[in-house]
Amino acid sequence: MAPNGNELYARANLDLVTVYEISKILCSSLDVSKTLREALNVLAHHLEFRRGMIALADDDGVTLRLEAAVGLNAREWEAARYYAREGIIGRVFAAGAPIVVPDIATEPLFLNRAGSRDEPHEGKIGFVGVPIRGGNQVLGVLTIDRVASPSRGFNRDVRLLTMVANLVGQSVALRRVVSQEHERLMSHAKRDVREPRGRFKLNNVVGNSRQMQAVFAEVHQVAPSRSTVLLRGESGTGKEVIARSIHELSLRKGQPFVKLNCAALSESLLESELFGHEKGSFTGASTERKGRFEMADGGTLFLDEIGDVSPAFQTKLLRVLQEREFERVGGSKSIKVDVRLVCATNRNLEKMVAAGTFRSDLYFRINVVSIFLPALRERREDITALARHFLERFNKENDRQMALSADGEEVLMHCYWPGNVRELENCIERTATMSQHDAIDRRDFPCSANRCLTQVLHFMNKDDAVSPLVSAPVPETVGGDDSAGAERMPQAAPGRQFSAEKPQGERERLIWAMEQCGWVQAKAARLLNISPRQMGYALQKHNIEVRRF
């Protein structure tokens, strides 16, 4: 019996609602496994099918593995692997065209790896498979199976599933683009840096190491252009100083350099700070006020901690970056600006995009040119020069004649510096201020008396306010036989209380042992009475970076 007009309208409306809900789900996050499961649940609810699967191609372009499924148990999931041209799913993938099987019980090409034939059912079970496309490439296959009905063919299913598969294809393709970009950036950051031709210099920036010379070269290369720059690196690596150097080396050097820390303001204050406000636009707005975009017109705007901007404000910021115009808070007049944007973050934006907390379109808008700033522990040859630079500035500001001794430099070279250049600067200023003589040596540094602020933060104890700080020598093996495992601990230095108790928690004990042994895994393994192989597995398990000096 043919459906009447009301039934056709209801089906069309249901299909439209289905596509709309699935599009919202797929746009909400780049966690494809999560969004595909939710999309299949919507399809199962609206189409009333028994099972649904989404199989995506591996990197080899031949093997298909399940990415999401509805109605399968663990055993069926493991069995559901396919190859191009194998069975119905393999043929859909290879041909790039939908295939409908009205009755899977009579189809010899149906492999039944997911057990669709084995479930009890009444009547015939039909199967529909459509290709998932990303551009001109087939990325996978979307399938459903349901009880066949004489009054309901499969044309509607094919049409709806094709639309859904196109949405899925766009989502999968976007995830792969983000993943490839992240891998490219990470390989760029971790690759061996070659010595650039000549030497580069930046005002107020100290860096003779290969890593910093590479950064300087990139700054000189990108500064004359109009491109948006994203500075990346740990907190305290000097991103603001590099941003100012980019401005000073650009054609805009005579124009304003305006900076704003996005993490320091709430969303409402951030909007007012960036875009300005009209008089009377909110309580306390007694006068008209220009925002940072207007103040930086013709120059450079530096947005620090861009990764901390809320998702709601990201949408507003994206429009300004695209159109280069905005309205003040409480105003209706569009204001056009000519601003060169430099952003900075210490966050992993790729993970944030995948988690749906950072807009992918804004990510691509600000990530035109990326410059990675190395951590201070990765460029230890710059530590002494930086320390002398900070000490020279301290002498000028305080009318002193302080100098750094050789053993004082050795102390600085053996620190880990989790706070990077900012921590080194604070350490020099604190030590120079408290020193009672003009030559800073080992005894003047807080770590020599177990008062290092970094150690206090690192060895914070849950029970006590601050746990006793340990600065013990590396254990030494008695005799020459390492397999014996017999060790002795040298005596603590006079006046220093040494505690051999390991911190609570496996990760804390691992870090403690590695620090006591100078980050030599074999020695740390002996200290913990485990094998080097077990030590390596434990470090990988807890994602502990092995520090190299």
> What is the pLDDT at residue 541?
78
- Structural domains in the chain, CATH included, are 5-180 (3.30.450.40), 196-374 (3.40.50.300), 378-456 (1.10.8.60), 471-541 (no CATH)
DSSP state of 373: P
pLDDT digits 0-9 by tens, 377-425: 889 999 999 999 999 999 999 998 999 988 888 888 888 788 899 999 9
Neighbours of 216 (CB within 10 A): 20
Max CA-CA distance within the chain? Answer: 101
Segment (H or E) for 318: helix 311-323
pLDDT mean across residues, the chain: 80
What the block records as the tokens of 134 is 């990303």
The string of DSSP codes covering 340-358 is EEEEEESS-HHHHHHHTSS
How many CB atoms neighbour CB 126 within 10 A?
21
Total residue count of the chain as it appears in this document: 549
Paired strand residues for 70? 52
Residue 46: the pLDDT is: 81
pLDDT for res 31: 76
Question: What is the reported pTM?
Answer: 0.56
Q: How many CA atoms lie within 13 A of 62 on its CB side?
A: 1
Kindly state the DSSP code that residue 374 receives in the 8-state scheme: P
Identity (one letter) of the amino acid at 379?
R
Collapsed DSSP state (helix, strand, coil) of residue 99:
strand
CA distance 370 to 232: 7
Gyration radius of the chain over CA positions: 31
Smallest CA-to-CA distance from 199 within 217, 222, 223, 219 is with: 217
Q: Residues 22-31: contacts with CB within 8 Å, 24+ apart? A: 22/164, 22/167, 23/167, 26/167, 26/168, 26/170, 26/171, 27/171, 28/356, 29/354, 29/355, 29/356, 30/171, 30/174, 30/175, 30/178, 30/353, 30/354, 30/355, 30/356, 30/360, 31/354, 31/355, 31/356
Those residues of the chain that have pLDDT short of 70 are 1-5, 30, 114-122, 151, 186-199, 280-286, 448-504, 547-549
CA distance 302 to 400: 34
Of 140, 128, 129, the closest CA to residue 170 belongs to: 140
C-alpha to C-alpha distance for 435 and 174, rounded to whole angstroms: 57
Q: What are the strands of the beta sheet with 340-345, ordered from one edge?
A: 257-261, 300-304, 340-345, 229-232, 369-372
Smallest CA-to-CA distance from 340 within 373, 380, 295, 298 is with 298
d(Cα 479, Cα 369) in Å, to the nearest integer? 56
Is the Cβ–Cβ distance between 372 and 219 less than 8 Å? no
Q: Is residue 544 a contact partner of residue 521, using CB atoms and an 8 Å limit?
A: no
Closest CA to 128 of 151, 145, 109: 145
Question: 490 exposed, middle or buried (CB, 10 Å; 0-12, 13-18, 19+)?
Answer: exposed
Q: How far is the C-alpha of 243 from the C-alpha of 250, rounded, in Å?
A: 11
In the block, residue with structure tokens 């060169």 = 340
* Paired residues of 202 in beta bridges: 205
Q: pLDDT digit string (tens) for 110-123?
A: 777 766 556 666 67
3-state DSSP of 102-171: CCHHHCCCCCCCCCCCCCCCCCCEEEEEEEEEECCEEEEEEEEEEECECCECCHHHHHHHHHHHHHHHHH
Q: Which two tokens stand for residue 330?
A: 């409480």
